[in-house]
Amino acid sequence: GELADLVRELDDLLACVAGGEDTWADAIAAVAPAYRDSARNMAHYWALRQTDLRDLQVRLADFGLSSLGRSEAHVEASLRLARAAALSLMQSGWRQPEPVGLSRSEGRELLRQNTIDLLGPEPDDRDTRIMVTLPSEAATDPGLAGDLLERGMNIARINCAHDDAQAWRVMAQNVRAAAAATGRTCLIAMDLGGPKLRTGPVQPGPRVVKLRPQRDALGRVITPAQGCLTPQDRQEPAAGPVQLPVPADWLARRRSGETLVVHDARGATRRLTVGDEIPGGTGRLVTAAKTTYVTTGMSMRVLGEHDEVDLGLLPETTQSLVLHAG
């Protein structure tokens, strides 16, 4: 019947949240012991949200059962209680499920205490805290922090992507002084600069190098594009032209004035002119009069000779996050 279907689906969800805990086991183990139960519950919640619960929630509500809408603080306990309730309707008898992990009351208390630890005590006159991002002026205007506190600020957020350490220090000092003067409690949140967790790691781009000559306003080449043929077995980071790794024995045969024929990443035929040897014997310059997209494994052939080689491993390019309107 329908109740049996509900029990089976709740069993599937319990297996799903257990799998979520397994997925994040290493991360959970790295959390401080005092917060490990909360981390485990977060893994359960993450797993639960991978599933579209809307149909199940409607059918649970049709039987007067919890729709799991407020289960964030105690996911596993809520699922087990809903399962026990559905099972009791089938069997005409209520049996309290065996406690596993956080109970509902424990989950609520942990959430309350962690909220206080993170956001400070709950204000007397409202249910929410107010976090204010401090502008740069908060470092030069000592009265600004006091004004914000009088208007209800509970947490001062310092955005470390702006200003500098000295400004952050003064901002914090001004907030502390204003809190002491007004007798109010105000936490300080330091928002670290750098990549945001919500973006995830940016995948590296293709191994391609763009050789581009400098041109004047009329499009005439002022300075040809430059690269440096280097032995692929001993590349070293260096300033100057981009390094193009090739086998050392092939490089040793190159002479100034030779022409190398390549087909670049776009399929365009390009010619590179071999130049002088770099002092110290670390490579040879090559120049190009046209823009050339050089890729790993690209074939380079000496014009008029049967002397060909494949370009070695180029560095990965750095990708950017692209924002679109809307």
Q: What is the pLDDT of residues 235-258, one digit of tens each?
A: 665 667 888 999 999 999 999 999
d(CA 103, CA 174): 42
Q: What is the mean pLDDT of residues 198-215?
A: 84
Helix axes 75-91, 2-23, angle to 10 degrees: 160
Whole-model pTM: value is 0.44
C-alpha span between 50 and 20 (Å, rounded) = 10
Which residue stretches of 120-274 are H helix?
142-150, 165-182, 248-252
Task: Round the average pLDDT of the chain to a whole number and report it.
Answer: 88
Give the CATH H-level superfamily of domain 204-317. Answer: PK beta-barrel domain-like (2.40.33.10)
**What per-residue confidence (pLDDT) applies to 69?**
78
pLDDT value, residue 88 = 86
Angle at which helices 165-182 and 142-150 pack, to 10 degrees?
A: 50
Per-residue pLDDT, averaged over 174-183, amounts to 94
Rg of the Cα trace of the chain? 32
Question: Of the ranges 25-29, 39-43, 98-102, 176-180, which one carries the lowest mean pLDDT score?
Answer: 98-102
What angle separates helix 2-23 from helix 36-48, to the nearest 10 degrees? 130
Give the other-Cβ count within 10 Å of 133's Cβ: 13
pLDDT surpassing 70 at residue 99: no
Residues 6+ apart with CB under 8 A from 84: 94, 95, 96, 97
Helical ranges in the chain per DSSP H: 2-23, 25-29, 36-48, 54-62, 75-91, 104-119, 142-150, 165-182, 248-252
As a whole number, mean pLDDT of residues 119-130 equals: 86
pLDDT above 90 covers a percentage of the chain that reads 55
Domain residue extents for the chain: 2-119, 131-191, 204-317
What pLDDT shows up at residue 237?
A: 58
pLDDT, tens digit, 9 for 90 and up, residues 305-316: 999 999 999 888
For the segment 19-24, the average pLDDT, to the nearest whole number, is 94
246: nearest Cα among 155, 176, 319, 312: 312
